[in-house]
Amino acid sequence: MNPKTRKYVMQILRLIAIIPMMAFIVLPFLILISSSLKMEGEINSLNPTLIPNHIIFDNFIELFKNKSFVLSIKNSALISSLTMVLTLFVSFPAAYIIAREKGKTIPVLQIWTLLSQMIPVITLTVPLYLILGSLKLTDSFPGLALVYITWQIPTTLWLLKVYISSFPTELEDAARIDGCNTWKMFIKIMLPIILPGVLTAGIFSLIGAWNEFFFALVFMKSPENILVSTKLWAFIGISGQSRDNMLAAASLLSCIPGIILFSVFQKYYVSGLTEGAVK
């Protein structure tokens, strides 16, 4: 087999291997779109089809008329944005210290950062609830944001540490010689260069807060503080009989912010991931 033929054979084999993986990823999303455009009776029919027999948009119209669902979208956008901004604000200088300092405590901090992600979430529920209760922050956005930030910092810190470690120390030294203080060097010199990494960490933080369900279910009780993740759960119903058409439409709408983010910042996101992987 000559090299050219071998190249084509390898491309075909790669394509054959990729098709099942893509089907596994794309098919559930296609079913979600299809279900959101169907009536409930058609979804639960004995012979369901991927293409709706009658395409309807009543599910989306009903959702936009549902004040509780619209409020949950606004609340999730607020808490996710707040979590992302504050997580980056705290993690960026901390990641710089871990990346640049050579003291004996730095390896301990790095190990603790990794180990903290292995703690089951459910084991922290009662301690966090007691802490928030003592601070009178239960059932409040600041309290939930504090929980999200605490939970997101280790991942964000580790990502930013990798990107900062790849930043040339010579540029830092040159900036300080030119009279830049540490914060000015962060903003004007380092941030533009490692921006893909910062955006990657920020997107991870924002999407993580947007999709989080357990803490939102436990800590947020008031109807006016409901988040989109718990609102989706409400469509299942107390008796377990879900409104599948409404659940599909609401789930599809809740995916849109993430799709938009990844579409707009795809270039920076992929660049940030590959830079972190190489380092």
Q: Is residue 33 part of a domain?
A: no
Q: Is residue 225 part of a domain?
A: yes
Q: Is residue 132 part of a domain?
A: yes
Residue 58 has which token pair?
Answer: 């009543």
Q: Are 43 and 245 in contact (CB under 8 A)?
A: yes
Is 0.75 topped by the overall pTM? yes
Q: Are 205 and 88 in contact (CB under 8 A)?
A: yes
Q: Are 275 and 166 in contact (CB under 8 A)?
A: yes
Question: Quick one: average pLDDT of 252-264?
Answer: 85
Q: Is residue 9 part of a domain?
A: no
User: What's the rounded Cα separation, in Å, for the pair 148 and 209?
Assistant: 6
Q: Is residue 73 part of a domain?
A: yes
Q: Is residue 22 part of a domain?
A: no
What are the pLDDT digits (tens) for 59-105?
999 999 989 999 999 999 999 999 999 999 999 888 888 888 777 77
**How crowded is residue 137: how many other Cβ atoms within 10 Å of its Cβ?**
17
- pLDDT at position 266 over 80: no
Question: How many domains in the chain?
Answer: 1
Of the listed ranges 113-117, 143-147, 166-170, the least confidently predicted one is: 113-117
Q: Are 30 and 53 in contact (CB under 8 A)?
A: no
Q: Is residue 4 part of a domain?
A: no
Range of the domain at 213: 58-278
Nearest by Cα to 219 from 211, 227, 210: 227
Question: Quick one: average pLDDT of 173-179?
Answer: 83
User: How much of the chain exceeds pLDDT 70, in percent?
Assistant: 93
Q: How far is CA 264 from CA 112, 196, 210, 258, in A?
A: 34, 13, 18, 10
Q: CB within 8 A of 131, min separation 6: which ones?
A: none
Encode 60-125 in three state secondary structure.
HHHHHHCHHHHHHHHHHHHHHHHHHHHHHHHHHHHHHHHHHCCCCHHHHHHHHHHHHCCCCHHHHH
What are the pLDDT digits (tens) for 135-150?
999 899 999 999 999 8
Determine the residue type at 50: L
Which CATH number is 191's domain given? Answer: 1.10.3720.10
Q: CB within 8 A of 209, min separation 6: which ones?
A: 76, 79, 80, 83, 84, 148, 152
- pLDDT at position 109 over 90: no
Q: Is residue 13 part of a domain?
A: no
**From its phi and psi, is residue 138 left (phi > 0), alpha (psi between -120 and 50) or beta?**
beta
